[in-house]
Amino acid sequence: MTPSYFSRLLLLSSGSFFLVFMILAAIVSWIAPAAVRRAASMRPQQAARWLLTLRLLPASLSAMVVALLCVPSYLRFEPHIPGEEAGVVCLAAALLGLSILGLALYRALSALIRSAAYLGQCDGRESQLNGEKIWIVPDGAGLALAGIVRPRLLISERAAAHLSSDQLAVALQHERAHRASRDNLKRLLIQLAPAVFPRLRTLEQAWIQCAEWAADDRATEGDPDRSTALAAALVQVARLQSGLPMPALVTSLVAADEDLAQRVNRILDAPAIAEPNRRFELFAFSSAAILIAILAMNLRMVHLLLESLLD
């Protein structure tokens, strides 16, 4: 195959993304069990940041490598040579890279469409509760946060009728914590980063759990009465909900597949967790940044490396 100059740039960029992405995904997948164990020694909010960073690292860092290293090195050092062919390895890697990109866009668009359809089916009415704008929906939601740009607080009619005022107040505070953390946006970013290895899904599930625990902590703020009210609200909502999973971009107060007993016990008797030593994380991320900076200062070496790998 004899591509044009910019077609060759597309092939090299896509192929480079695939190679870097797979290497990083394999590394993150390998350390995932240890990362989840380490997260258990952190406070939930910090653990959620740590796990989300690892989950998004392969896709985000691969995109940075292509944008900051591959494209500039190609534009600066690749000569316009008519008739230069692309190798089989380059074509195969580029095709796989485009497949990963297509899968990421498909997952993200599907999640957006399903979440928008869910909001349309809810057919709720706007109301006010404790000075907060909410939407009362006929059934299904329990309590949930839906949307990304202007997320809506959804409460089912059954939940509004069965929960006490204290339970509703602390449950709303829990959903506000999700909104403040932009957890639905983070869920969309995860959709844009396909889990090519099963252990990446383990990181994802651990992040979801830590994000819920962090929202619980922000809602209760260590107050025993709020903790009791939130625990009771979780049990009550779990009984009222249908048990069907929510769309990916809808954060429910109680997920259909979570360990409710573990979460309730933690709320009622949350252990004191010491701050972990974060030198390892600081060293790892600093090393990655320094490596990218060094390579950026020697784009010719990057270009030669790309040609040797992909041609």
Q: In angstroms, rounded to a whole number, what is the distance separating the alpha carbons of residues 42 and 52? A: 14
214 and 125 in contact (C-beta within 8 Å)? no
Residues with Cβ within 8 Å of 225's Cβ and at least 6 positions away in sequence, in order, are 166
- How much is the pLDDT for 150? 84
- C-alpha triplet 222, 227, 228: angle, nearest 5°: 145
- How much is the pLDDT for 290? 65
Looking at the 3D structure of the chain, how many domains does it have? 1
35 and 51 in contact (C-beta within 8 Å)? yes
- How much is the pLDDT for 214? 92
- How much is the pLDDT for 273? 47
- Which alpha helices (DSSP H) does the chain contain, by range? 5-39, 44-65, 71-77, 88-122, 157-162, 165-180, 183-191, 198-220, 224-240, 260-268, 279-296, 299-310
- How much is the pLDDT for 37? 92
Q: In angstroms, rounded to a whole number, what is the distance separating the alpha carbons of residues 250 and 179? A: 11
DSSP class of residue 272 equals P
199 and 55 in contact (C-beta within 8 Å)? no
DSSP class of residue 130 equals T
- How much is the pLDDT for 274? 46
pLDDT tens digits, residue range 267-310? 888 654 445 555 556 655 666 666 666 656 566 666 566 666 55
Give residue 65's domain range: 5-310
Facing residues of 251 across strands? 145
63 and 57 in contact (C-beta within 8 Å)? no
Nearest partner of 97 among 275, 248, 306, 252, judged by Cα = 306
- How much is the pLDDT for 223? 86
**If you search the block for the tokens 């599907």, which residue do you land on?**
110
Tell me the one-letter amino acid at 112.
Answer: L
Residues with Cβ within 8 Å of 59's Cβ and at least 6 positions away in sequence, in order, are 21, 104, 192, 193, 194
Local confidence pLDDT in tens for the 311 residues of the chain? 455 767 777 888 888 899 889 999 999 999 999 999 988 888 898 899 999 999 999 999 899 888 888 888 777 766 665 555 666 777 888 899 999 999 999 999 999 998 888 887 777 777 777 777 888 887 666 788 888 888 888 888 888 888 888 999 899 999 999 999 999 999 999 999 999 999 999 999 999 999 999 999 999 888 888 989 999 998 888 887 766 677 888 888 888 777 888 888 888 886 544 455 555 566 556 666 666 666 565 666 665 666 665 55
User: How far apart, in Å, are the Cα atoms of 16 and each of 29, 83, 95, 225?
Assistant: 20, 22, 11, 54
